[in-house]
Amino acid sequence: MDWTTQTATAREWFETLRDRICAEFEAIEREAGSGAAFDYIAWDRETDDGSDGGGGVRGAMKGKVFEKVGVNVSTVTGAFAPQFAATINGASEDAPEFTATGISLVAHMANPHVPAVHMNTRFLTTQTAWFGGGADLNPPIPYREDTDRFHARLRAACSGHNPQYYERFSKWADDYFYIPHRDEHRGVGGIFYDHLECRDEAEFERHFAFTRDVGEAFLDAFPAIVRQRMEQDWTPADKARQLEWRGRYVEFNLVYDRGTLFGLKTGGNIDAILMSLPPEVTWS
């Protein structure tokens, strides 16, 4: 099946979601008395043979509330290297071609009481096609109320599509966002899903609807948490805890994260790939 039309449809949604998220984050900066705004940088993917490999737009903002936030959308095509192709669903050494479109977001916050956050959803085609993604909360100073709010909104998004999704995908997040060499999780979880395969138009529509609802859940839950915590007083000890916890985030993303590896192995934009890294971090 030719997934060109579906890829374009998914891309349009990811771009619309990016615009809405960026507008909401800028509104929060205005509420805090900041004029910070996103800068948008377009990039083209370089390919070995000089063919069109697609590209994307990297949106970045540094403000009073958002110490560093990146919201990236990309649509890329090409071929995996043989060894890497063997690790990708539906790809092989004989058929390494792929198309991928998606949105990726990471926010590191100025106030240690406001959690960092990650959200990513994507549609990828090889010899098959599937959706994947999720969102997870990464507080240096966890609050049960914030964790419950975030998970409740994701649970609602899941339950509208499959009563087993939340239990399955929240466990997947716990298993995935784990740092083996630290024997600890990088945050308080969320959901993670992958390989929701689309064998026909009906499956595409069903999984696309779920992926849209994940984006809506994020847009509903996270800004509310930011607004509740962004004016909270913090101490030097709180800041030190935040900087140390960011080190865990760095370790996971550089050692274990599939998205980072995918971007680096497919000739992605380096700045966009590594936008997940915090602006300041410490290791004890």
Point out the residues that are catalytic. 118
For residue 10, give every residue at least 6 positions away whose Cβ sits within 8 Å of its Cβ, in sequence order, or none.
101, 123, 208, 211
Residue type for position 93: E
Cβ-based burial of 61 (10 A; exposed 0-12, middle 13-18, buried ≥19): buried
- C-alpha–C-alpha distance, residues 65 and 82, integer Å: 43
Backbone region of residue 11 per phi and psi (left: phi > 0; alpha: psi in -120 to 50; beta: other values):
alpha
| CA-derived radius of gyration, the chain | 18
Token couple for 213: 């609802």
Nearest to 73 by CA among 13, 137, 14: 14
